[in-house]
Structure 1
């Protein structure tokens, strides 16, 4: 019996895929054909047509990409979930890859590794109507945010928020992990890093934060349990792979200004 031909990523890279969730209506049936009965039932529960379409495109594209790595047709990719809702790929010999999906507005981002537990978060930058930082950030993070100049506050908030959300997703305990139980850096003068995790003094060494390249109106981050090993992001697309951002993405090198 011929063994499946898994696509190898290796220890030095994490693959990142991004795509628009607003695919043409003409392609919706093609994406829907890739989904399981449970996913189609979930899609049907969306009240708004746009949300239903985006869910179908997101899950269909996820299946297509994971199928490439696993040498499986998209329809044969099977997901399982831990007690906190984190998905993994169900295979008889265990999942050879780790992955995490995030989406905001019309943009989806997927991180894939065959070595490391990971999480990804992407968020559209919007004005804040309440003090979210005061409710969820750690004391040190709130003080850092308050010290930023007013024009850098929104950018700083989303840099912090996406790093924290990506860590929660990578850690695997979901909402049971309090957002104020750990600190991340996010000011422009500091390298991205996890500074503290309650009960785990080795966490700052074991976890690596990587800033995601995004359109200027988004922020994003990837967290990976590399146990001290340096790792980079490789941006992938249907047209091939590149060591720099995909042509329609660019990293924000200065605070976001609406």
Structure 2
């Protein structure tokens, strides 16, 4: 039941964001999904100032969040640093070892105490999920081919199959109550083929793309659930 509530709030967030940013009435908003399940806005009249408007929502634990970008791809992953109840931290993370590179796994198991090991595990997992969600891929993506490098989770860099992707940026944010959120911002050329068809602008020169890549990274704004419902005159949220 709790997960269903979070999913409902996630849906409300998507409509509230689109209405706030693009000014589309709630009852005129149409959200579709790609073959891989990536949500996107179906719009006949793209906003020239936000040619690739796209968004990503995530929920886990006590938080539901959403992020959007006007040009670049965006991926978001929220994770609660939940302590396993029926097994040790080491036993819990071992079943996920195949999803990490050798270097990442070394950093995880050598992070310190069990609590520190678990925190490092979740941080790596979160940034990987943010990247995969940004490109619009599904659960079949080989996570062990994505390798993250960082300095105390600053200056985060990603390598895919050993090659550094210089046209990506990442942030890992500490939330309240032992939650973290990872945000990925990257080039639309990395989008899956089905997701790429939903974008209006996928080819840029370096100057055009860097304007989008280096936009300021806004902080999260906390809202109450009641703030997400449409006000009078903006229509109703369509049923799921």
TM-score (norm 2): 0.69
Offset, 1:94: 4.5
CA deviations over 1:78-108 (Å, ceiling 9, x no partner): 1122221111100013474110000012311
- Could you tell me how far apart the structure 1 residues matched to 2:129 and 2:5 are? 25
Report if aligned partners of 1:160, 1:186 keep a CA contact under 8 Å in 2.
no
What secondary structure is seen at the aligned counterpart in 2 of 1:209? strand
CA contact (8 A) 2:168 2:185 kept: yes
Verify: 1:220 aligned to 2:181, yes or no.
yes
Kindly tell me: are residues 213 and 147 of structure 1, through their superposed partners in 2, closer, same or farther at Cα, counting changes over 3 Å?
A: closer
Aligned to 2:30: 78
Residue 216 of structure 1: CA displacement?
4.1
Matched, 1:143 2:106: yes
CA distance in structure 2 between the partners assigned to 1:159 and 1:237 by the alignment: 22
After superposing on structure 2, the runs of 4+ consecutive aligned residues of structure 1 that deviate more than 4 Å are none
Please, which of 91, 107, 121 is the counterpart of residue 43 of structure 2?
91
Deviations 1:150-177 (A, max 9, x none): 2521221111111001011012222232
Whole-Å separation in 2 of the counterparts to 1:179 and 1:94: 33
Q: Alignment partner for residue 134 of structure 1, among 93, 97, 102?
A: 97
Matched position secondary structure for 1:191: strand
Q: CA-atom RMSD, angstroms?
A: 2.4
Greater CA drift, 142-151 or 172-181:
142-151
Cα separation, partners in 2 of 1:156 and 1:186, compared to 1, 3 Å:
farther
SS at match of 2:68: strand
Which residue, out of 142, 149, 152, partners 1:188?
152
Q: Could you tell me which residue of structure 2 aligns to residue 206 of structure 1?
A: 167
Unaligned runs of 5+ in 2: 188-208, 224-240
Task: Select the residue among 154, 160, 163 that pairs with 1:197.
Answer: 160
Size of the alignment, in residue pairs?
A: 188
Equivalent position to 2:7, from 20, 44, 55: 55
Contact residue 169 and residue 186 of structure 2 kept, 8 A:
yes
